[in-house]
Structure 1
Amino acid sequence: MEFDHIHFYVENAIESREWFREKLGFKSIASQTSEHTQKEIINRGQVYFALSSAITSKSPVANFLSLHPPGVADVAFRVGDINSVVTKAAVNGGNILQPIQQNLQGLKWAKISGWGDLTHTLIEKIDNAQIFNSPKQLSRNIVAIDHVVLNVAEDNLKSAFNWYHQILDFQPHQNFDIQTKKSGLRSQVMIHPEGEVKFPINEPTSPNSQIQEFLDANCGAGIQHIALRTENILGVVEELRSLGLPFLQVPGTYYSSLEKKALSCLSETDWQKVQDCEILLDWQKSIPGAMLLQIFTQPIFKQPTVFFEFIERKIVWVNGKKMETPGFGQGNFQALFEAIEREQMKRGSLGKN
C-alpha cells in the first residue's frame, strides 16, 4: 500500500489551486468540471493533490462543507490487489461507498468510508498508473507523502486503530504520550505491512489540548497534517519562506543543547541554516548517524485545522545496506506540541479549563 493522492474539499478550487501554486510551488496539471463540482489537480514532484469545490448544492463538497470547514475529505491509497482489499473491508464491516470501477486503460478504483466523515479511495497499482492519468514528474525537492495524521475525539484512539487494523490491515508501530503543564495528547502510529504508508492517530488528553482545539474547529475528527518528504529540506524551506509560506516558530533556546551533536552530522554552514530556518532535529539512538529534520507550517485555512510538515530522513548505512532514517522524531513531538501551544496562546484558546 502507498499513498496515491490527497483530496481537499474547499470553498473555491481555483483560488486554492493558486494558493498552492504561489505558496507551495505546486503545478496545475488538470481541471475537471461536472454539473455540480469543480476539481483542480495539482502536483509537485511525486505528490498529487485534488482540490474540489461545489458548483451547486448537489455536490458532495457542499454536504461536506455543511458539516466541516475546508479540509481533507479523502486520503487515497494505491494497493496491489483491489479485489482482495475491498472484499476484506466488506467482510470486516467496512462501508463500501463506491464499488470497484475500471476505465479503458485498466485502472481500477473503489471508495470506502474511513473514520468519521473521512473517506479512502483505493486504487489498484498498474504500471505506476494514477487515477489522474498524469505521468509523475521527478523533483529533487519533494519526493513523497511521508505520513498523514488523523485526529480523533478523546477515548476514540483505540477504536479508531482497531477499525483501521480490521478494515485495512494497519499494524501498530510507535506510540507517544505528550504532556506539558498546560495540555496533552496521546498518539498511536500505524504502518501498513505492505508498502510505505504511515498513518498516526492522535487523541486529546486534556480539554484544551491542541487536538481538542482541532476537533472543535473541524467539527469532529479529521486529518490534522500531511507530511511531505524531501531530500533537501534546507533548500525547500528557504524556497517556501521566500514565497511567504508561514511556519511555526522555534525558540532559539531549542538549539542551545543540540550544537555538539548536530555538528557531528552537519557542516557549520548547514547547522546555521537549520537554525535560521527553524528546523527541528532528532536522532535515532539505536542507529548511528540516523537523523530526522522536520518543520511545520501554520494552518493553511482560516481555522486552526490542517497544516503541513516537511521531513527529511537522512540516508544511513546499516549492515552494508543503505536506508532512510526511520521513526517520527519522538524527541520533536514535545517541541512541536509546545510550538503549537504557543500559537494556541496567541489565539486565546489555551486559557480554557
Structure 2
Amino acid sequence: MEFDHIHFYVENAIESRDWFREKLGFKAIASQTSQHTQKEIINRGKVYFALSSAITPESPVANFLSLHPPGVADVAFRVRDINSVVAKAAVNGAEILQPIQENLQGLKWAKISGWGDLTHTLIEKIDDAQILNSTSELSQDLVAIDHVVLNVAEDNLGSAFNWYHQILDFQPHQNFDIQTNKSSLRSLVMIHPEGGVKFPINEPTSTNSQIQEFLDANRGAGIQHIALRTENILGVVGELRSLGLPFLQVPETYYSSLQNKALSYLSETDWQKVQDCQILIDWQERIPGAMLLQIFTQPIFNEPTVFFEFIERKVVWVNGKKIETPGFGQGNFQALFEAIEREQMKRGSLGKN
C-alpha cells in the first residue's frame, strides 16, 4: 500500500490552487468541473493533491463544509489487489461509498468510509500509474507523502486503530505519550505491512490538549497534518520561506541543548543551516548515523486545524544495505508538541488544566 493523493474540500478551489502555487510551489496540472463541484489537481514532485469546492448545494463538498471547516476529506491509497481490499473492508464493516470502477486504460478505483467523516479512495496500482498523474515532468524535491496524521476524540484511539486494523490491515508500530506541565496527548503510529504507509493517530489526554483544540475547531475527528518527504529539506525550506510560507518557531534553547550531539553528525556549516531554517533534528539510536530532519508549518486554513510537515529521512548504510531512517523521533514529537503549545498560548486557548 502507498499514498496516492490527498483530497481537500475547500471554499474556493481556484483560490486554494493559487495559494498552493504561490506558497508551496505546486503546479496546476488539471481542472475538472461537474454540475455541482469544481476540482483542481495540483502536484509538486511526486506529491498530488485535489482541491474541490461546491458550485451548488448538491455538491458533497457543501455537505462536508456544513459539518466541518475546510480540510482533508479523503486520503487515497494505492493497493495491489483492489478486489480483495474492498471485499475485506465490506466484510469488516466499512461502507462502500463507491463500488469498484474501471476506466478504458484498465485503472480501477473505489471509495470506502474511514474514521468519522473521512473517506478513503482505493486505487489499484498499475505500473506506478496514479489516477491523478497527468504529467511526466516531475520536480523531485518532494518525493512522497511520508505520513498522514489523524486526530480522534479522547478514548477513541484504540477503537480507531481497531477499525483500520480490521478494514485495511494496518499494524501498530510506535506509541508515544507526550506531555508538558500544561497539556498532553497519546499517539499510536500505524504502519501497513505492504509498502510501509505510516498513519499515526492522536487522541487528547487533557482537556486543553492541542488535539482537543483541533477537535473543537474541526467539529470532530479529522486529519491534523500531512508530512511531505524530501531529500533536500534545507533547500526546500529555504525556498518556501522565501515564498512567505509561515512555519512554527523553535526557541534557541532547543538547539543549544543538541549542539554537542549534532556536531558529531553534521558539519558546522550544515548545523548552522539547520538552526537558520529552524528545523528539528532527531536520531534513531539503534541505527548509527540515522537522522530525522523535520519542520512544521502554521495551520493553512483560518482555523487551527490542518498543517504541513516537511521531513527528510537520512539514508545510512548498515551491513552493506541502504536504509532510510525509519519511524518517528521522540525528541521531535516533544518539540512539535511544545511548539504548538506556544501557538495555543498566543491564541489564548491553553488555559489551566
TM-score by length of 1: 0.99
Work out whether 1:116 is the aligned partner of 2:116: yes
Contact 2:282 2:292 in 1 (8 A): yes
1:157-214: per-residue Cα shift (whole Å, max 9, x none)?
0000000000000000000000110000000000000003100000000000000000
Structure 2 equivalent of residue 264 of structure 1 = 264
Contact 2:154 2:205 in 1 (8 A): yes
Q: Which amino acid aligns with 2:158?
A: K
Q: Which amino acid aligns with 1:176?
A: F
Q: Which amino acid aligns with 1:300?
A: I
Contact 1:45 1:143 in 2 (8 A): yes
Structure 2 equivalent of residue 339 of structure 1 = 339
CA distance in 2, matches of 1:220, 1:137: 39
1:227-269: per-residue Cα shift (whole Å, max 9, x none)?
0000000000100000000000000000112112111221211
Matches within 5 A, 1:248-287: 248-287=248-287
SS state at 1:17 partner: helix
CA distance in 1, matches of 2:179, 2:293: 22
Structure 2 equivalent of residue 41 of structure 1 = 41
Matches within 5 A, 1:157-306: 157-306=157-306
Contact 1:46 1:136 in 2 (8 A): no
Contact 1:13 1:40 in 2 (8 A): yes
CA distance in 2, matches of 1:251, 1:137: 39
Structure 2 equivalent of residue 130 of structure 1 = 130
CA distance in 2, matches of 1:298, 1:225: 10
CA distance in 2, matches of 1:127, 1:233: 28
SS state at 1:56 partner: coil
Matches within 5 A, 1:94-109: 94-109=94-109
Contact 1:189 1:200 in 2 (8 A): yes
Q: Which amino acid aligns with 1:163?
A: W
Deviation at 1:136, TM superposition (A): 4.9
Give the gaps of 5 or more residues in structure 1.
none
1:41-69: per-residue Cα shift (whole Å, max 9, x none)?
00000000000000000000000000000
More displaced 10-residue stretch of structure 1: 126-135 or 9-18: 126-135
CA distance in 2, matches of 1:332, 1:191: 19
CA distance in 1, matches of 2:33, 2:70: 19
CA distance in 2, matches of 1:165, 1:225: 21
SS state at 2:143 partner: strand
Aligned Cα RMSD in Å? Answer: 0.8
Contact 1:17 1:51 in 2 (8 A): yes
CA distance in 1, matches of 2:73, 2:287: 37
Q: Which amino acid aligns with 2:57?
A: S
Contact 1:140 1:232 in 2 (8 A): no
- What percent identity do the matched residue pairs reach? 89
Deviation at 1:328, TM superposition (A): 1.1
Structure 2 equivalent of residue 348 of structure 1 = 348
CA distance in 2, matches of 1:135, 1:166: 35
Q: Which amino acid aligns with 1:101?
A: Q
SS state at 1:142 partner: coil
CA distance in 1, matches of 2:127, 2:255: 45
CA distance in 2, matches of 1:137, 1:169: 34
1:296-333: per-residue Cα shift (whole Å, max 9, x none)?
00000000000000000001011110111111122111
More displaced 10-residue stretch of structure 1: 343-352 or 247-256: 343-352
Contact 1:45 1:136 in 2 (8 A): no
CA distance in 2, matches of 1:132, 1:248: 31
Aligned residues: 353
Deviation at 1:132, TM superposition (A): 2.3
Runs of 4+ in structure 1 off by over 3 angstroms are: 135-138
Q: Which amino acid aligns with 2:25?
A: G
Q: Which amino acid aligns with 1:191?
A: I
